[in-house]
């Protein structure tokens, strides 16, 4: 048998076969991610693999009720169990302002989610108590011995009921109401189309379930080893919940699996830290799959009511909409998701008159939070469904109706903000429309044709209909509405290699690879190490909203440029020329006139140079009471064409192909961009057809990977990249736009459009259930 290292060596040899293929180098090339091979071979150490001498195991007691008052908690039986070292409840956390335990509420925007429930549980699976014991089974057994006296309360699970229901939390049931008013409210169009759209609950379902290790420090602090994607934010919130100074908590980022959202939930890490502090021993906790579904936030389920007015040619006159997001039990980032849903409620189209009311409300459903294009995705499904309806009413092609209304650079959003970044919406549409269509089975009878329902399934060719659908969408990059976006990076060069120290976590978006490429390009050094991220480094912010390419990439570039200046200055002075006349290329420093040609390695010999730099994009402002304001730093766009086969008797759908054209600004690593697009398409197809975390009366119905269906390789379509449009965004670092979120935003709408085309059914709900695609 070949050992993993042999395979690794073999792969590396393949890459260098013939000795003529150089290692990919610098921006614009496509080096492989450094963790790709270990992850594929199963030798990558995840957080669940951590170990410390003498560690204890943590376990959490979760609420079986979606809404209940806690009349009392009796932990004596659990504490009496041999092997149990500590049992903690809300009473062990610092008390609230009134001196009573309040569970140390925390949250990314509003601190309203208790670490451990105090007095009330507001969703199924909410943590109530935690145990540390010398064996995981003992811990689990002890959890079962904690007696909680619940008084079940009526659960509010319908977001429409939240407005009138009694307050579920002292903060009330309304997270945010955002009205948007622009133009003439009395404008009417010749053609009016209306629709009611629903989006279900998609879960990030990270394959690496939450896990971590907390180690107490001699100074009374604690060190957390977790796969966090926001080390500083998580550190600060953890410290605040524990009543510690932030510098007493250190967060070491370890074993991050691919993340499409915030990785850890706060309750998990605060509980872990609390157990370690309480017992004075390292504590490890690994959540089960079911707990993982309970603990992390999901996508906001949404209800959207739309009315589009257009003239006879299909040019938009007015859009009216009501948007309702179910934020679940706690605020999380609902306010931010709502801003995106409202601002992008019309989509990448121009419309002079827009009237939207949007609400995010509290219910007793599981909390919703950040997940690729939160808010923007739900709106995209509604406006693209409306555009399909409009095309049918006007009697033109769905591509044509979109072209007629498409926005270009300089056009205003309904928020009054002018889109100053490149907005090549028409070009994207044309690119996907021009792609050749995949062959029909009749054209290629020899090929093994995968029927809807899969190989060996029940598919019958005579009942299969093919459909083609188009969608365009948009999503903002970086934080919105005045959020301070900043990142810091240090670049150090010593001898022949460089090191990048930056707390930006590579959660699969490829930041580590990008940082290496940046330093290679700027300094001509081929060996670049990326230091592991931890909270002792300077702040880089969370890995979300495509921030790190821009903000941390910008910081790395600036730091590298400063090092470059330090390196070239003495050489330039030596030759009596300015630094600007020297350039670094192919590992050599050359002057404009070719007189100087010095290898970088030689210039660097014996030197140790370093610089730290910060990047902070231009500020934004909050949306005002009529939804107006320059709330976004930049926007990225994407167009897709979906080709689906539908078994119209069973309602089975298979996505045959997705053609994608995306506005990337500049392709810094083309292979990684394609990977991210494929990932976004896979996630989008999942939401469109199968991913649905069901709740009945607030209780989770399918918290397992058998019940919660993720797309498998057979469900993920062929992804055809029609175009990566490179129109530089002048304000962005390298002119590049974030690439991960927008494919996930657009893909579900494209699939829905294609199913609509195949079946002739309206399709107003995501995910599309089998019964939604059965005709007759």
Partner 1 sequence: MLPASLDEAVDALAAAPAAVPVAGATDLMEAVNAGRLRPAALVGLGRITELRGWRYEDGGTAVLGAGLTHARMDRPDFAALIPALADAARTAGPPQVRNVGTLGGNIVTAAPAGDTLPVLAALEATVTLARAGASREVPVSHLLTGLDPVRPGELLTWVRVPLLHAPQVFLKATGRSGPARATASVALVLDPARRAVRCAVGAVAPVPLRPLEAEAWVAGCIDWDGSREIDPAAGAAFGEYVAAACVPDNYGAEGAWEAVTEGPTAAAVRLRRTVSVLARRALGRALK
Q: Which residues bind partner 1 (CB under 8 A)?
A: 137, 140, 288, 290, 450, 452-458, 460, 649-650, 652, 654, 689-690, 706-707, 709, 711-715, 770-771, 774
C-beta of 579 vs 770, nearer to partner 1 = 770
367 burial level (CB within 10 Å; 0-12, 13-18, 19+): buried
Of 747, 768, 764, residue with least CA distance to 647: 768
Q: How far is the CB of 31 from partner 1 (least distance, A)?
A: 31
Q: How far is the CB of 740 from partner 1 (least distance, A)?
A: 23
DSSP assignment of 659-714 equals EEEEE-SS-SSHHHHHHHHHHHHHHHHHHHHT----EETTEES--STTTSPPP-TT
CB atoms under 10 Å from CB of 619, counted, come to 11
CB atoms under 10 Å from CB of 95, counted, come to 15
Q: How far is the CB of 289 from partner 1 (least distance, A)?
A: 8
C-beta of 502 vs 690, nearer to partner 1 = 690
Q: Which two tokens stand for residue 38?
A: 């270990």
Q: How far is the CB of 4 from partner 1 (least distance, A)?
A: 18
C-beta of 81 vs 770, nearer to partner 1 = 770
Q: How far is the CB of 690 from partner 1 (least distance, A)?
A: 5
C-beta of 54 vs 445, nearer to partner 1 = 445
C-beta of 203 vs 506, nearer to partner 1 = 203
C-beta of 236 vs 290, nearer to partner 1 = 290
C-beta of 37 vs 450, nearer to partner 1 = 450
Q: How far is the CB of 775 from partner 1 (least distance, A)?
A: 11
Q: How far is the CB of 162 from partner 1 (least distance, A)?
A: 24
Q: How far is the CB of 687 from partner 1 (least distance, A)?
A: 13
DSSP reduced 3-state for 405: helix
Q: How far is the CB of 83 from partner 1 (least distance, A)?
A: 16
C-beta of 115 vs 130, nearer to partner 1 = 130
C-beta of 95 vs 707, nearer to partner 1 = 707
Residue 328: CB partners within 8 Å, gap ≥ 6?
Answer: 123, 297, 298, 362, 363, 365, 366, 367, 368
C-beta of 2 vs 706, nearer to partner 1 = 706
Kindly compute the dihedral angle of the four CA atoms of residues 197, 647, 204, 357, in this order, to the nearest 10 degrees.
-10
Give kind and range of the element (H or E) at residue 556.
Answer: helix 547-575
Q: How far is the CB of 355 from partner 1 (least distance, A)?
A: 35
Q: How far is the CB of 458 from partner 1 (least distance, A)?
A: 4
C-beta of 107 vs 767, nearer to partner 1 = 767
C-beta of 453 vs 479, nearer to partner 1 = 453
Are residues 400 and 310 in contact, defined by beta-carbon separation less than 8 angstroms? no
C-beta of 25 vs 449, nearer to partner 1 = 449
DSSP reduced 3-state for 180: strand
C-beta of 153 vs 710, nearer to partner 1 = 710
Q: Which two tokens stand for residue 483?
A: 């959020």
Q: How far is the CB of 207 from partner 1 (least distance, A)?
A: 13
The structure tokens 């090929």 sit at 447
Q: How far is the CB of 350 from partner 1 (least distance, A)?
A: 38
Kindly compute the dihedral angle of the four CA atoms of residues 748, 750, 756, 762, in this order, to the nearest 10 degrees.
60
Of 497, 534, 528, 496, residue with least CA distance to 515: 528
Q: How far is the CB of 454 from partner 1 (least distance, A)?
A: 4
Q: How far is the CB of 660 from partner 1 (least distance, A)?
A: 20
Q: Which two tokens stand for residue 317?
A: 């006159």
Q: How far is the CB of 129 from partner 1 (least distance, A)?
A: 17
The structure tokens 């709330």 sit at 631
Q: How far is the CB of 448 from partner 1 (least distance, A)?
A: 13
Alpha carbon distance 703, 314 (integer Å): 44
β-strand partners of 147: 74
Beta strands at 765-766 and 191-199: parallel, antiparallel or unpaired: parallel
533 burial level (CB within 10 Å; 0-12, 13-18, 19+): buried
CB atoms under 10 Å from CB of 175, counted, come to 25
DSSP reduced 3-state for 330: coil
Q: Which two tokens stand for residue 180?
A: 């948007």
C-beta of 199 vs 567, nearer to partner 1 = 199
How many helical (H) and strand (E) elements, i.e. helices and strands, does the chain have? 16, 29
C-beta of 486 vs 705, nearer to partner 1 = 705
Alpha carbon distance 646, 465 (integer Å): 5
Number of C-alpha atoms within 13 angstroms, CB side, residue 655?
Answer: 36
Are residues 514 and 669 in contact, defined by beta-carbon separation less than 8 angstroms? yes
C-beta of 183 vs 697, nearer to partner 1 = 697
DSSP reduced 3-state for 655: strand
605 upstream amide cis, omega within 30 of 0: no
Q: How far is the CB of 646 from partner 1 (least distance, A)?
A: 12
Q: Which two tokens stand for residue 174?
A: 């309304």
Strands (E), 446-587: 464-477, 487-494, 497-502, 527-530, 582-585
Q: Which two tokens stand for residue 376?
A: 């923007």
Q: Spell 557-589 as b/e; 16+ CB within 10 A means b.
A: bbbbbbbbeebbeebbeeeebebeebebeeebb
C-beta of 96 vs 457, nearer to partner 1 = 457
- What is residue 319's DSSP assignment? E
Q: Which two tokens stand for residue 47?
A: 């957080």
Of 197, 325, 370, residue with least CA distance to 741: 370
């Amino acid at each position: 048998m070949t050992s993993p290292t042999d395979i690794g060596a073999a792969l590396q040899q393949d890459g260098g076969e013939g000795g003529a293929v150089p290692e990919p180098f610098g921006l614009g090339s496509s080096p492989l991610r450094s963790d790709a091979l270990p992850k594929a071979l199963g030798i990558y150490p995840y957080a669940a693999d951590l170990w410390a001498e003498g560690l204890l195991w943590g376990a959490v007691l979760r609420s079986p009720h979606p809404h209940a008052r806690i009349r009392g908690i009796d932990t004596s039986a659990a504490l009496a169990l041999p092997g149990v070292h500590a049992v903690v409840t809300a009473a062990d956390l610092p008390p609230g302002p009134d001196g009573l335990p309040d569970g140390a509420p925390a949250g990314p925007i509003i601190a309203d989610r208790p670490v451990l429930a105090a007095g009330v549980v507001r969703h199924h699976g909410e943590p109530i108590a935690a145990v540390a014991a010398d064996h995981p089974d003992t811990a689990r057994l002890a959890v079962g011995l904690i007696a909680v006296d619940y008084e079940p309360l009526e659960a509010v699970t319908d977001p429409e009921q939240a407005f009138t229901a009694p307050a579920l939390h002292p903060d009330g049931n309304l997270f945010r109401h955002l009205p948007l008013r622009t133009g003439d409210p009395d404008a009417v169009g010749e053609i009016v189309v209306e629709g009611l759209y629903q989006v279900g609950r998609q879960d990030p379902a990270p394959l690496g379930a939450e896990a971590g290790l907390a180690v107490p420090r001699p100074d009374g602090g604690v060190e957390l080893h977790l796969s966090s994607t926001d080390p500083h934010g998580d550190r600060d919130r953890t410290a605040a919940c524990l009543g510690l100074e932030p510098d007493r908590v250190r967060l070491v980022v370890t074993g991050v699996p691919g993340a499409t959202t915030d990785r850890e939930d706060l309750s998990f890490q605060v509980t872990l830290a609390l157990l370690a502090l309480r017992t004075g021993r390292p504590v490890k906790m690994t959540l089960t799959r079911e707990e993982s579904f309970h603990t992390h936030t999901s996508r906001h389920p949404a209800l959207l009511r739309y009315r589009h007015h257009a003239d006879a040619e299909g040019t938009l006159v007015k859009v009216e909409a009501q948007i309702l997001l179910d934020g679940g039990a706690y605020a999380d980032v609902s306010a931010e998701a709502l801003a995106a849903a409202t601002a992008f409620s019309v989509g990448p189209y121009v419309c002079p008159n827009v009237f939207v009311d949007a609400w995010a409300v509290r219910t007793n459903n599981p909390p919703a939070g950040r997940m690729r294009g939160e808010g923007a995705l739900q709106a995209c499904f509604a406006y693209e469904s409306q555009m399909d309806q409009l095309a049918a009413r006007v009697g033109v092609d769905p591509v044509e109706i979109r072209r007629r209304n498409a926005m270009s650079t300089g056009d205003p959003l309904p928020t009054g903000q002018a889109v100053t970044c490149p907005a090549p919406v028409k070009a994207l549409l044309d690119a996907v429309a021009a792609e050749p269509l995949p062959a029909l089975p009749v054209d290629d009878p020899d090929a093994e044709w995968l029927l809807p329902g899969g190989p060996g399934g029940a598919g019958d060719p005579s009942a299969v209909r093919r459909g083609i659908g188009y969608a365009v969408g948009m999503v903002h990059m970086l934080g919105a509405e005045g959020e301070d976006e900043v990142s810091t990076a240090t670049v150090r060069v010593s001898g022949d290699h460089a090191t990048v120290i930056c707390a930006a976590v590579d959660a699969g978006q490829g930041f580590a690879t990008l940082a290496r490429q940046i330093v290679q390009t700027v300094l001509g050094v081929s060996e670049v190490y990326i230091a592991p991220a931890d909270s002792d480094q300077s702040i880089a912010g969370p890995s979300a909203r495509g921030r790190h390419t821009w903000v941390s990439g910008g910081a790395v570039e600036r730091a590298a440029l400063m090092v470059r200046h330090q390196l070239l200055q003495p050489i330039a002075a030596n030759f009596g020329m300015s630094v600007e006349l020297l350039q670094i290329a192919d590992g050599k420093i050359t002057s404009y006139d070719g007189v100087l040609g010095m290898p970088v390695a030689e210039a660097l010999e014996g030197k140790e140079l370093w610089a730290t730099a910060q990047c902070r994009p231009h500020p934004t402002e909050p949306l005002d009471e009529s939804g107006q304001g320059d709330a976004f730093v930049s926007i990225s766009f994407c167009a897709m064409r979906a080709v689906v086969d539908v078994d119209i008797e069973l309602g089975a759908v298979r996505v045959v192909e997705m053609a994608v054209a995306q506005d990337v600004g500049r392709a810094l690593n083309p292979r990684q961009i394609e990977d991210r697009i494929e990932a976004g398409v896979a996630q989008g197809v999942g939401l469109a057809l199968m991913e649905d975390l069901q709740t009945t009366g607030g209780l989770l119905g399918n918290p397992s990977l058998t019940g919660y269906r993720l797309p498998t390789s057979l469900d993920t379509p062929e992804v055809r990249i029609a175009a990566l449009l490179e129109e530089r965004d002048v304000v962005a670092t390298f002119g590049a736009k974030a690439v991960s979120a927008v494919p996930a935003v657009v893909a579900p709408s494209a699939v829905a459009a294609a199913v609509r085309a195949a079946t002739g059914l309206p399709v107003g709900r995501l995910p599309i259930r089998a019964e939604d695609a059965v005709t007759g």
